[in-house]
Amino acid sequence: MIELVLLALALAADAFAVSLVRGSAGEHSSARAVELGLAFGIAQGLMPLLGWTLGALFAHRIEAVDHWIAFGLLAVLGARMIRQAFSDEPNDAPAQGRRGHLLGVVAAALATSVDAAAAGLTLDLFAAPVWLSCLAIGTVTALLCIPGYWFASRIGPRLGRWAEAAGGLVLIALGARILYAHLT
């Protein structure tokens, strides 16, 4: 179960980082914080289910190497998160207007959950049922993003970079643990 919590925290790191950025530059209201947290939580909770479903359709073809695939996917995702954490690329800026704001939130939620879809391929390797894994990932994301948005003006966007880098390291460690468990 600890692996599931670590996976949820790692996958939530990029959404948390975006919530910090949006919170530091956006409207500070409880409605915006909850809206962002729910959007990110729902996307992060549903995308692993999509990844798991696609993996289940092709499981018989990849069973002998699934641990290598899991390690590779988690390592690549983790390395990408670490690279993005320290890159100078502009972060997600809040959109203007209600419609633009909602489109920005949905786009950010989907963009930050792509890695969750890839991680969904590995859900069968954890002890928890898939539905519980998806629920945990979505809940942890929402519970991190809501206060992240609110406290962003005090903590600033720099913490978002470190949270994303830490999430990347955790994904790499989870992949290494899966590989080690299957090879020993």
Cβ-contact 152, 107 below 8 angstroms: no
Which range, 31-45, 65-79, 88-102, 108-122, has the best average confidence (pLDDT)? Answer: 31-45
User: Would you tell me the crossing angle of helices 98-112 and 2-25 to the nearest 10 degrees?
Assistant: 150
DSSP secondary structure letter of residue 58: T
pLDDT digits (tens, 9 = 90+) for 116-164: 888 888 888 888 899 999 999 999 999 999 999 888 765 655 566 777 7
Which range, 45-54, 71-80, 112-121, 147-156, has the best average confidence (pLDDT)? Answer: 45-54
The total number of residues written for the chain in this structure: 184
Picking from 162, 46, 23, the residue whose alpha carbon sits closest to that of residue 109 is 46
Asked which of 58-62, 107-111, 123-127 is least confident by mean pLDDT, the reply is 58-62
Q: How confident is the model at residue 22 (pLDDT cuts 50, 70, 90)?
A: confident
Q: How far apart are CA 101 and CA 61, in angstroms?
A: 42
Q: How many CB atoms lie within 10 A of CB 174?
A: 25
| pLDDT value of position 116 | 87
The verdict on pTM exceeding 0.75 is: no
Chain-wide mean pLDDT for the chain?
Answer: 82
Picking from 101, 131, 108, the residue whose alpha carbon sits closest to that of residue 32 is 101
